[in-house]
Amino acid sequence: MPELPEVETVVRLIRPDLTGRRIKGVRVEWERTLGGMRPAAFQRAVQGATVGRVWRRGKYIVADLERRGRPAGHLLCHLRMSGRLHVDPAGIAPGPHERLRLPLDDGCVLRFVDVRKFGRFTYVERADVALAGLGPEPLGEEFTPAWFRNGLRSRRRALKPLLLDQAFVCGLGNIYVDESLHRARLHPLRRSDRLSVLAAARLHNEIRATLEEAIAHEGSSFDTFYRTPEGRPGSFQEQFQVYGRQGRSCLSCGAPIRRLVVAQRGTHVCLRCQRPPRSL
């Protein structure tokens, strides 16, 4: 599923094609993509605006809009499970599951395609307000070992649901939480306030390393997620240590990878590398 590395990859891919383009029109094929905004209001806000900076915050893709050189709100896109965002050259026919389309002034088309319809593509006046609930960027300066240790200590939650909580740290999802926990040799049910300083530092380090390596591999591709309809997929799925590897052997110790359910999510662990907490 698109998590921070996949979203970052999408942003890097579409940024050059989108920056500086004027949005000529709006076509909404699935209204709920707008997250409650009326299509007419969306069109008024977006049509005729020019795209400024294209950036990422957590799993959100943001495009700043301008009119006559002045700030004019933001496009805000969340891919959720199966969303794909790409800029197509002129003359490419829409494929299936297209939910929203923005023709650009150079003839290209920004397309939001989403099989499962969970994704959102909407307009907000203020990105800072819309994104205010997100925790720090795990690859940002604010996410220091000391901040992380204090954050873990101030909650009393199992590690997995806490790391999935976008208000705690943003950008992690099911895959990269499982991978980071395995690399840090921590069981997903370990309580956040009971980690040693060393274990917290290890987890902090592995979260960053996992995300950085995944970005370097242009994210993970499988299921319905590809960068573009014709484009190359990312390759980080080939580096997975536990995710989706249930029944196969742990690449570091050889014990079988187990699949459990934690926080209502499929969860992949090596019980030899990741010792369960005593109190369950």
Asked if 20 touches DNA (CB under 7 A), the answer is no
Asked if 116 touches DNA (CB under 7 A), the answer is yes
265 included as an active-site residue: yes
- Candidate residues 81, 139, 209, 271; the one interacting with DNA per rule CB under 7 A: 81
- Cα 187 to chain center, whole Å? 23
Between 101 and 117, name the residue whose CB sits nearer to DNA.
Answer: 117
Between 31 and 66, name the residue whose CB sits nearer to DNA.
Answer: 31
Distance between CA atoms of residues 93 and 101, nearest Å: 11
Phi (first) and psi of residue 154, to 5 degrees: -85, -5
Find the catalytic residue in 155, 157, 185, 265: 265
The amino acid at 156: R
Between 267 and 274, name the residue whose CB sits nearer to DNA.
Answer: 267
Interaction with DNA in 26-55: which residues (CB under 7 A)? 32
The amino acid at 61: I
Asked if 264 touches DNA (CB under 7 A), the answer is yes
89 included as an active-site residue: no
Asked if 1 touches DNA (CB under 7 A), the answer is yes
Catalytic residues: 2-3, 59, 265
Which residues form the interface with DNA (CB under 7 A)? 1, 3, 32, 58-59, 78, 80-82, 96-97, 115-118, 133, 155-158, 161-162, 164, 166, 173-175, 224, 261, 263-266
